Amino acid sequence: MTGTRVLEPEWLDALPHADPRAMRSRRDLVRVNWLMGNVRVVASELSRLGPLRSIAEIGAGDGSFMRAVLGKLDAKDVEVHLVDQQPLGTVTADVFDWLAEAPILDAIVANLFLHHFDDGELRRMLALVSRRARAFIACEPRRSPFALASAHLLGFVGCNDVTRHDAVVSVRAGFAGRELSGLWPEPVGWTLDERARGLFSHSFVARRDE
Ligand SMILES: C[S@@+](CC[C@H](N)C(=O)[O-])C[C@H]1O[C@@H](n2cnc3c(N)ncnc32)[C@H](O)[C@@H]1O
């Protein structure tokens, strides 16, 4: 690896939201996010945007990730939309349907979410995002040999079969280089920043120029 992205179905997406293995895997994700350092990455990028009135996380799961991010910020009175296809957050909807009708927001966040989609779907999603937010922050698995080897070891920190399967699939579908910048629809009028974060993550930030 690095090679090209390989997409395979993730088990968590197919399990009913109240299935005990799914619930356990969502709890594992809190630990995985901690190991990856993603809460810190997204909180620090959000804090650079100035006072926030409205944010959304797409593919938010049960909202644990965004709660942890907000806990690191001085973000009182911020309107938060937690969008997921499963009935877990504040909005139950497919991401494309929701983005087509979404209000204009200060920021949209995606964590461990974009890698579910192929490049054509991502182009369409990012085009919708660019019309709905003045900033977009994504933190995704990094597609690297080290991240792949580490994903194989998640059993040692107590992650269940669903999390272990999905972690490996996620790294293979993850990102490297400037792949997400290449899918952003509007390089003019936006500042793009895409890079490796920590040992396992890959961030992409798009900020609308003032
Ligand atoms: C790996 S989880 C990440 C959850 C959360 N962002 C976190 O970091 O803990 C991916 C989430 O994306 C959701 N999802 C997958 N496809 C979706 C879609 N088309 N529209 C909305 N949500 C989707 C799944 O239901 C799942 O909760």
The residue assigned the tokens 């669903």 is 162
Task: State the closest ligand 1 atom to the C-alpha of 170, by its place in the atom list counted from 1.
Answer: 1
The set of residues, in sequence order, having a beta carbon less than 8 Å from that of 18 and lying 6+ positions away, is: none
Q: Which atom of ligand 1 is nearest to the CA of 17?
A: 25
Whole-number pLDDT of residue 76: 80
**pLDDT tens-place string over residues 5-40:** 999 999 999 999 999 999 999 999 999 999 999 999
State the pLDDT confidence band at 193, using cuts at 50, 70 and 90: very high
The rounded Å distance from CA 85 to ligand 1 centre is: 7
Distance 210 CA to ligand 1 centre (A): 31
User: Which tokens hold the place of 9?
Assistant: 């179905």
Question: Distance, CA 177 to ligand 1 centroid (Å)?
Answer: 23
82, 111 Cβ separation under 8 angstroms = no
Give the pLDDT confidence of 92-119 residue by residue, as tens digits: 999 999 999 999 999 999 999 999 999 9
Tell me how far the alpha carbon of residue 199 is from its chain's centroid.
Answer: 17
Q: Answer yes or no: is pLDDT of 2 > 70.
A: yes
Per-residue pLDDT reduced to its tens digit, 127-177: 999 999 999 999 999 999 999 999 999 999 999 999 999 999 999 999 999
Structure confidence at residue 186 (pLDDT): 81
- Per-residue pLDDT at 1: 63
